[in-house]
């Protein structure tokens, strides 16, 4: 990449970090959690905020639903989703809540997830089951399952009472790529609805949502697609579109799907309207070059940090910009300990990383983005072993 113009500034790999407003005193190696909004997108959203505050009545009452629909079509096209069968929502867990609230669960019904599932999704499922008498079945899987192991384990957990299977496309804590299209195909004959949690997919890896064939697919654009936080696309199969109930009934209730899902009165819609600016920035930087840079750098980071810790790090999935490194035994063995360790690494060492427990073992998750350099991971590899040894 050389001489790309963003907001009037010529950007190259040497100065690309100026596209972000991240604290330079911190090494940000955890893009996968909340993303980072480029300055150009921040400015686009600020212009929308200015427009909104200059005349709130006009902003909300004249053409806003059409602007949202136009944005939805733009984002759906990028993801290979049906724009008429998609809705904009705040994040992936909102999409999960919409589905769980539309199933009419009863006592004895079952929802199937895997051990690699996201914690907030697990909590949402457990809350729905407690409320309705349904049963949550969690499929055990090893840290690095093969595609066949994933498909076999998930399909083997399905019974005649299964009302929904939730499967991650890219797992959050363990950074694995799951064969979601194969799971959907395997369950199609039994008419078992499948929801794909694709929180980490948009912008991260190529995707054609329609080809996956899931009943529900939801992915965040504020992680890897440079959108402002609070932007996700929720794609729904035709048979379910009029059955999905909004979390809040609004003036667009009679408009049907997707407007009844998207409209919530005074919700701040500027993150959605600014999201195309994130895709523009991503494409201006060269989407394929960004992905290659991030994938290669994440692999490098995993390699040097694992070597420094003497850890046997699992191979990463091709194309993923997140990698994990097992921590020494006894560290981050549960969620509270993992959260505490992440904070201490940030506060005492100046590195933002992900830390998660899995099967009683702490996992360090490293993400890579264009603002990162190999030297960031070299410095972490130099300082982390002694820090963890002192804790042990």
User: Which pLDDT score, from 0 to 100, does residue 189 have?
Assistant: 86
User: Which pLDDT score, from 0 to 100, does residue 50 have?
Assistant: 98
User: Which pLDDT score, from 0 to 100, does residue 266 have?
Assistant: 87
Q: Report CA-CA distances (Å) from 62 to 59, 68, 249, 256.
A: 6, 12, 20, 20
Residue 2 has pLDDT above 60, yes or no: no
Contact 235, 76 (CB under 8 A): yes
Which range among 145-154, 260-269, 320-329, 343-352 shows the weakest confidence by mean pLDDT? Answer: 260-269
User: Which pLDDT score, from 0 to 100, does residue 1 have?
Assistant: 55
Q: For residue 203, give the nearest of 37, 316, 44 by alpha carbon.
A: 37
User: Which pLDDT score, from 0 to 100, does residue 15 have?
Assistant: 79
- Joined together, the tokens standing for residue 34 give 């909340």
- In the chain the domains, ranked by start, together with CATH numbers, are 4-36+286-391 (3.90.1150.10), 45-280 (3.40.640.10)
Residue 392 has pLDDT above 80, yes or no: no
Confidence of residue 8 (pLDDT cuts 50, 70, 90): low
User: Which pLDDT score, from 0 to 100, does residue 264 have?
Assistant: 84
User: Which pLDDT score, from 0 to 100, does residue 105 have?
Assistant: 96
The label of the residue with tokens 């079509």 reads 73
User: Which pLDDT score, from 0 to 100, does residue 16 have?
Assistant: 83
Share the mean pLDDT of the chain. 95
User: Which pLDDT score, from 0 to 100, does residue 318 have?
Assistant: 87
User: Which pLDDT score, from 0 to 100, does residue 317 have?
Assistant: 84
Buried b vs exposed e over 183-218: b needs ≥16 C-beta within 10 Å? bbebbeeeebbbbbbbbbbbbbbebebbebebbbbb
pTM given for the model = 0.95
pLDDT per position as a tens digit, 295-351: 999 999 999 999 999 999 999 888 999 999 999 999 999 999 999 999 999 999 999
User: Which pLDDT score, from 0 to 100, does residue 22 have?
Assistant: 96
pLDDT per position as a tens digit, 53-111: 999 999 999 999 999 999 999 999 999 999 999 999 999 999 999 999 999 999 999 99
Distance CA 123, CA 93 (A): 10
**With pLDDT > 70 as the criterion, what percentage of the chain qualifies?**
97
Strand partners, 219: 233
Where is pLDDT greater, at 283 or 316?
283
Task: Taking residues 129-140, report their average pLDDT.
Answer: 97
User: Which pLDDT score, from 0 to 100, does residue 235 have?
Assistant: 98
């Amino acid at each position: 990449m050389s001489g790309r113009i963003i907001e009037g500034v010529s950007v190259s790999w040497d100065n690309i970090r100026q596209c972000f407003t991240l604290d330079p005193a911190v090494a940000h190696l955890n893009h996968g959690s909340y993303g980072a909004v480029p300055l150009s997108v921040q400015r686009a959203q600020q212009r929308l905020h200015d427009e909104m505050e200059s005349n709130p009545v006009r902003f909300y009452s004249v053409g806003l639903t059409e602007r949202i629909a136009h944005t939805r079509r733009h984002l759906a096209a990028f993801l290979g989703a049906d724009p008429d069968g998609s809705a904009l929502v705040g994040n992936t867990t909102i999409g999960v809540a919409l589905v769980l609230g539309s199933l009419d669960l009863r006592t004895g019904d079952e929802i199937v997830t895997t051990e690699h599932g996201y914690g907030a999704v697990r909590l949402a499922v457990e809350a729905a089951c407690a409320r309705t008498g349904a049963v949550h079945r969690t499929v055990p899987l090893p840290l690095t399952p093969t595609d066949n192991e994933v498909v076999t384990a998930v399909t083997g957990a399905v019974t005649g009472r299964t009302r929904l299977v939730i499967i991650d496309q890219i797992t959050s804590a363990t950074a694995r790529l799951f064969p979601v299209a194969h799971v959907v195909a395997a369950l199609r004959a039994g008419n078992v609805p499948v929801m794909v949690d694709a929180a980490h997919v948009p912008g991260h890896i190529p995707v054609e949502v329609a080809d996956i064939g899931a009943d529900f697919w939801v992915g965040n654009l504020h992680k890897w697609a440079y959108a402002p936080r609070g932007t996700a696309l929720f794609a729904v199969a035709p048979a379910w579109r009029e059955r999905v109930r909004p979390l809040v009934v609004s003036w667009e209730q009679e408009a049907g799907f997707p407007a009844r899902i998207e409209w919530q009165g005074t919700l701040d819609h500027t993150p959605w309207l600014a999201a195309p600016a994130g895709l523009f920035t991503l494409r201006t930087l060269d989407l394929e070059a960004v992905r290659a840079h991030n994938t290669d750098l994440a692999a490098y980071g995993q390699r040097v940090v694992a070597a420094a810790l003497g850890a046997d790090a699992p191979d990463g999935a091709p194309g993923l910009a997140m990698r994990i490194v097992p921590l020494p035994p006894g560290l981050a063995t549960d969620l509270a300990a993992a959260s505490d360790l992440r904070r201490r690494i940030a506060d005492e060492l100046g590195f933002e990383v992900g830390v998660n427990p899995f099967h009683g073992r702490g996992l360090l998750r490293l993400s890579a983005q264009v603002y990162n350099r190999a030297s960031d991971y070299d410095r972490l590899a130099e300082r982390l072993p002694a820090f963890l040894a002192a804790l042990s």
